[in-house]
Structure 1
Amino acid sequence: MLEIRDLHVNYGAISALHGISLRVPQGQIVTLIGANGAGKSTTLRAVSGLVKPRSGLINLEGEEIAGMAPHTIVGRGLAQSPEGRMVFANLTVMENLRMGAYLRKDKANFAKDLDYVFCIFPRLKEREWQAAGTLSGGEQQMLAIGRALMSKPKLLMLDEPSLGIAPLLVKTIFEKIVEINKELGLTILLVEQNANLALEVSHYGYVLETGKIILENTSAELRVNEKVRAAYLGG
């Protein structure tokens, strides 16, 4: 589905990614874990076209997308729920969801997909006409994921979905991520600082440290790896 090869990204003179390579197979949840500043969000920003790579390849379903405009990449079937949620605060829940479907050509299926989002996140249905800025952090995260789903993506990228959310809602959101993957067969690239949660719900994982991939394996193997446990899982 997605393949990144030897990706280098700079912010001015500062090198953020040093030749990383990773694969996200069709239908799987792949996670990228690492500390703050490791380059996780930069990786997603490069894939979605928000930053331009200095070099390297980014292939989505066999098509090179590095350097494409973000809206063009969305049109190719990629959607992102960004770090910090970034909902349109002054718009209602429904208006935010409609924004997610803005580039869709199959408008006939809008109602069906909206029903699915409301089914998986019933709180959004309850707050359909509420301004997004008045929702709790967890509800805004649900909305950000729902908005991304409304674009009917082939690949969904989630950037720090647990950030700033009450623990009980974090558990709910991660259960829903697994549900979306299983029910829709949707491929997911998950960036998450909570390594325990990320490795629990994913199939495969990469460990990113100061802009380099230092480890990769099945999530089950990474959970019992001594280095990963010591650095990210609390021993």
Structure 2
Amino acid sequence: MHSRRPETLKIDISKYRGVEEDPLLRWFVELDDAIRARRIDDGDMQAAFVRTNLAGRAKTWALGLKLHDPYAFVSLEVFKSRLRQTFEPPRAEFRARTELLKLEQEQAIFIVVQEDFSLRQARASSTSYRPPRRYDSGGPKPMEICYVESEKARSTDYKKLQKCNRRQKTGHYAHECSAPRPVSRNTGRNDRPPMRKGQERGSDVGAKTQQRVGPSKNGQDQ
């Protein structure tokens, strides 16, 4: 019996152009997977498979090197090493770390800016609130009403302590009393019309003079 040959799997990979946008290490991973899937074991065949998946400046470089030296690519490892020396950016590992650090710094700055913005928004919302403005309607204010009411209560309390001269009772004034006005006993003296100030002085002076002089001359003659 003849042994059955294992089936091969054709995996398509991207073309490497030798530009900075094409990461060489990632392309090497795709290349190794495709070679294992196709079960390519010979070194020359592996190198030929690598050349068929080059494009652009990378393909031009490989063809020129092959024309100059037919044994330039004796194995897959040699081909990879020459590709790294030619197309891999200088200090690629340091560059990758720098880009990673830059991304982390940008992310940290973004977080700080976002937190600062949130803090400003919170402060703005807390300080922008203002109570509704009250317009003066022209009427009495609450403090004025309280003052008037307190004055009324004070005057009512003071009035309760006052004593009426007519009824001799507290709680009201004499002009508010409903009782009749009392009549004085000395009515005759009070009924006499009041005299003027000059007349009162003249009558008093005449009476005093008559008392000093004595009886009139007519009385003496009699």
TM-score range, shorter chain: under 0.3
Q: Which has the higher contact order (CA 8 A, sep 6+)?
A: 1
In proportion to residue count, which structure has more helix?
2
Larger Rg: 2
In proportion to residue count, which structure has more strand?
1
